[in-house]
Structure 1
Amino acid sequence: MSETIVQLEDVSVFQRENLILNEINLEVKKGEFVYVIGKTGSGKSSFMKTLYADLPLKQGKGKIVDFDLKTMQEKDIPFLRRKLGIVFQDFKLLLDRNINNNLKFVLKATGWTDSGKMENKIEEVLEKVGMKTKGFKFPHELSGGEQQRVAIARALLNDPELILADEPTGNLDPQTSVEVMKVLQEINENGRTIIMATHDYALILKYPHKTLKCDGSKIFEVIQKAI
């Protein structure tokens, strides 16, 4: 595995026929934490969707965790996503089952079969996000912050090389956002690479990292000014 996790050269991002972003050149190395910021509608989510192959890469060159986004076939997408952890704004937990079974569902879907190993893995990831005692609860019994912690635990199940977090604090109040951010920080400090789309500027100032801005169909690095 190379030290470069994401490499984009002259990439354009399309939604169907509409050009959203163009001339993207980006390198993300192992262990980096990168923010993607920009107004609603500036292309943050389309950019993230291109990285996890929800939107096809039509123009430019793109490699992510050693997969070529340009030449990728439909059948390769599940294998790419096993090397990624994806965290969404709206948690995407299955409401009809408890947290342990939510996580077990993902493990089974990605090829795990040994129930003992699955239980150990579930316990390990829930411990990482401070939710070890909550596995028997159903999503509706948890606060928004707790649900997002579970979503982060789910993203860690297959030891991803890269975590893509798309507005992970978008539905949370400021205090809860900070708690979730601390979890992501810790995961990053343990060597995981994270790309996080956000419009929460307070968090960016509190936890400064490399920051890319989507604006006027371009992505460029911005230098954060301390306030």
Structure 2
Amino acid sequence: MSETILELKDAAIFQKDSLVLNEVTLDVRKGEFVYLIGKTGSGKSSFMKTLYGDLPLKQGTGSIVGFDLTKLREKEIPYLRRKIGIVFQDFKLLPDRNINKNLHFVLKATGWKDSHKMNQKIEEVLNKVGMKTKGFKFPHQLSGGEQQRVAIARALLNDPELILADEPTGNLDPQTSVEVMKVLQEIHKSGRSILMATHDYALILKYPSKTLKCDGNKIFEVVQRAV
């Protein structure tokens, strides 16, 4: 059996004081690709934020890449985020610097010192997402799909054990969504675990995988029937 890298038991997810999800019990194993689906407002983003330390886990138990979410201290969050890669819907690239400098900033912030190694790593991750020649461009000079590829490259910088992708195709047209999905599939094939929140059912049909659904304050696994 492959090891569990994300596990929650009877967890309650809160956004400030309001309960968003209750009695959440699930696990994601190393090497899995898991979808998280659900309507807007069903708790997907709050769930993701709890996993990367933006929201505290106040009830139940939970661990992610070896960190206990119930005991997570403020000062440990940067270390947690080195072991997970986060891909956001709105890219979150810094507009005032080019792509190489965007990635350089992340490496510096996560403790890298050697500039030669940093440059090598940046080239490696941009190459993985098909953006090797675009490092000198600024975010506004790239299309939405290209910006999301860069965001995926950024999530790979610290060789994360798990990638959390929160609606990574939410701002993209269908054709570009498929291209970005192919990049994520390639990364998954290289042995990485991915948890992807999405409401793009066309992608799920095209690339079926284990699917969790947020609905009625709960998260449960959806059994996919053959179409």
Equivalent-residue separation in structure 1 for 2:206 and 2:5 (angstroms): 25
How well do the aligned residues superpose, as a CA RMSD in angstroms?
A: 0.8
Equivalent-residue separation in structure 2 for 1:202 and 1:225 (angstroms): 14
Please state whether the residue corresponding to 1:194 is helix, strand or coil: strand
Partner of 1:34: 34
Partner of 1:19: 19
AA aligned opposite 1:122: I
TM-score, normalised with respect to structure 1: 0.98
- Note the 1:60-99 alignment, pairs <5 A: 60-99=60-99
Equivalent-residue separation in structure 1 for 2:21 and 2:200 (angstroms): 21
Spell out, residue by residue over 1:135-156, the C-alpha distance to the aligned partner (whole angstroms, 9 max, x if none). Answer: 0111011000000000000000
Structure 1: 5+ residue runs without aligned partners?
Answer: none
Equivalent-residue separation in structure 1 for 2:153 and 2:72 (angstroms): 27
Given that 1:5 and 1:162 are in contact with CA atoms closer than 8 Å, whether structure 2 keeps it comes out as: yes
Please state whether the residue corresponding to 1:70 is helix, strand or coil: helix
Detail structure 1 runs of 4+ shifted over 3 Å in the superposition: none
Given that 1:88 and 1:165 are in contact with CA atoms closer than 8 Å, whether structure 2 keeps it comes out as: yes
Deviation for aligned residue 1:223: 1.3
TM-score, normalised with respect to structure 2: 0.98
Equivalent-residue separation in structure 2 for 1:170 and 1:204 (angstroms): 14
AA aligned opposite 1:188: H
Partner of 1:225: 225
Partner of 2:146: 146
Partner of 1:173: 173
AA aligned opposite 1:63: S
Structure 2: 5+ residue runs without aligned partners?
Answer: none
Equivalent-residue separation in structure 1 for 2:10 and 2:56 (angstroms): 15
Please state whether the residue corresponding to 2:61 is helix, strand or coil: strand
AA aligned opposite 1:55: L
Please state whether the residue corresponding to 1:12 is helix, strand or coil: strand
Partner of 2:127: 127
Equivalent-residue separation in structure 1 for 2:157 and 2:84 (angstroms): 10
AA aligned opposite 2:225: K
AA aligned opposite 1:114: D
Given that 1:8 and 1:25 are in contact with CA atoms closer than 8 Å, whether structure 2 keeps it comes out as: yes
